[in-house]
């Protein structure tokens, strides 16, 4: 999940940094249908203009003749990300990678901050191309929202509400695995607070290894934005991603994150 978080952060920053972007709604409930190697539904609850999010996912995965029920909840706040597997009765707590990005940015001088902002606006497309993909601004309109199309690793694409990280459609076709997730509705009304309450009886364990990875990647990402011509500042997440491993990783809720979660469930592993 962490590996692919930095890419959309850079791609959609523009002259504004990713955490400064405003959503077209303060609150929203988005219902998705999921078909392919997983069949089921996902519901994303957004409040405080996206600063707090809760994602409920219920699917049945089918691979190599094996079926498995999946029920997960992910809570995202500016400080932390909590992941709960209701089937396994397991929970994990990690620092929101964006928090580390903000901390690294705030430690810069005024001149360095200006350079980061300038390069963030320039590097989005180049970063996507480096991952074997491309970006089309306002490529489609879904449920009344202009959406940017992001294609990654050949055969996979996601449609994000223009200038944001909110996906309304995701299509994946990798290594024979197909998955489609499409938003069926967007309700901008206020939702019940109960959807942001953590499940009873499951303790979220601290995932310190993922926290360290997120901190290192945030440091690398800011360093790259300060000096993109220095090869030593290339994030390890980009250098270590051959095409054959593209579908095995996020976050945040996008396409590669969904694939990773399914594969983890099939293998009986906890989240990375």
Query: Model confidence at 74, in pLDDT bands (50, 70, 90)?
Result: very high
pLDDT at residue 133 in the model: 62
> Over 60: is that where the pLDDT of 148 sits?
yes
Q: Is the pLDDT of residue 246 over 90?
A: no
Paired tokens of 237: 């997440």
Higher per-residue confidence, 147 vs 130: 147
Read off the pLDDT of residues 119-145 as tens digits, 9 standing for 90 and up.
776 665 555 555 556 788 899 999 999
| Of 142 and 214, the one with more pLDDT | 142
> Would you say the C-alpha torsion 25, 31, 32, 38 has a positive or negative sign?
positive
Strands in 156-161's sheet, in edge-to-edge order, are 134-142, 145-152, 156-161, 167-174, 177-187, 28-36, 38-47, 52-63, 66-76, 80-85, 90-95, 204-206
Task: Give dist(CA 259, CA 6) in Å, integer.
Answer: 17
Residue 200's beta-bridge partner residues? none
- Is residue 205 within 8 Å of residue 85, measured between CB atoms? no
CA distance 10 to 92: 26
pLDDT-derived band at 151, boundaries 50, 70, 90: confident
Least confident of 46-50, 186-190, 259-263: 259-263
Q: Is the predicted pLDDT of residue 3 greater than 50, yes or no?
A: no
CA-based nearest residue to 154, from 224, 247, 220: 247
| Residue whose pair of structure tokens reads 């219920």 in the numeric block | 58
Residues 90 and 97: beta-carbon distance below 8 Å: no
Q: Please report, rounded to a whole number, the percentage of residues in the chain having pLDDT higher than 70.
A: 73
Q: Which residues contact 99 (CB under 8 A, 6 or more apart)?
A: 78, 79
Task: Output the pLDDT for position 115.
Answer: 87
Closest C-alpha among 105, 133, 127 to residue 16: 105
What does the chain come to in residues? 272
Per-residue pLDDT at 223 exceeds 90: no
Mean pLDDT of the chain: 79
Structural domains of the chain, ranges and CATH numbers in brackets: 2-124+178-266 (2.50.20)
Separation of alpha carbons 208 and 205, rounded Å: 9
Alpha helices in the chain (DSSP H): 6-11, 97-106, 110-130, 208-226, 236-239, 255-267
Q: Is the pLDDT of residue 19 over 90?
A: no
DSSP-derived letter for residue 24 is S
Looking at the chain, which runs of residues are DSSP E strands?
A: 28-36, 38-47, 52-63, 66-76, 80-85, 90-95, 134-142, 145-152, 156-161, 167-174, 177-187, 204-206
Q: Average pLDDT of 56-66? A: 87
Question: What percentage of the chain carries pLDDT values higher than 90?
Answer: 46
Least confident among 99-103, 133-137, 166-170, 251-255: 251-255
CA distance 88 to 237: 29
Note the pLDDT tens digit of each residue in 159-208. Answer: 999 988 899 999 988 777 889 999 999 999 999 999 999 999 999 999 88
pLDDT recorded at residue 255: 39
pTM summary value: 0.80
């Amino acid at each position: 999940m962490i590996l692919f978080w930095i890419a959309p952060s850079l791609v959609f920053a523009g002259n504004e940094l990713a955490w400064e972007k405003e959503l077209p709604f303060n609150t929203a409930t988005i219902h998705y249908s999921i078909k392919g190697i997983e069949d089921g539904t996902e519901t994303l609850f957004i409040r405080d203009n996206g600063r707090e999010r809760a994602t409920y996912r219920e699917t049945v995965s089918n691979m190599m003749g094996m079926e498995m029920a999946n029920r997960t909840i992910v809570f995202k706040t500016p400080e932390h990300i909590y992941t709960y597997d209701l089937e396994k009765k397991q929970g994990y707590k990690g620092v929101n990678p964006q928090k580390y990005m903000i901390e690294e940015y705030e430690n810069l001088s005024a001149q360095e901050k200006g350079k980061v902002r300038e390069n963030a606006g320039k590097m989005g497309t180049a970063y996507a191309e480096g991952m074997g993909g491309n970006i089309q601004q306002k490529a489609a309109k879904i449920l009344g929202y202009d959406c940017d199309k992001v294609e990654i690793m050949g055969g996979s694409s996601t449609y994000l509400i223009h200038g944001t990280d909110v996906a309304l459609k995701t299509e994946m076709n990798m290594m024979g695995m197909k998955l489609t997730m499409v938003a069926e509705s967007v309700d901008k009304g206020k939702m019940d607070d109960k959807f942001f309450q953590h499940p009873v009886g499951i303790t979220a364990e601290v995932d310190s290894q993922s926290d360290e990875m997120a901190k290192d990647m945030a440091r690398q990402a800011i360093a790259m934005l300060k000096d993109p011509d220095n090869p030593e500042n290339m994030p390890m997440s980009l250098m270590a991603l051959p095409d054959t491993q593209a579908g095995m990783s996020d976050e945040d809720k996008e396409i590669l994150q969904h694939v990773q979660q399914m594969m983890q469930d099939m293998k009986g592993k906890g989240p990375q």
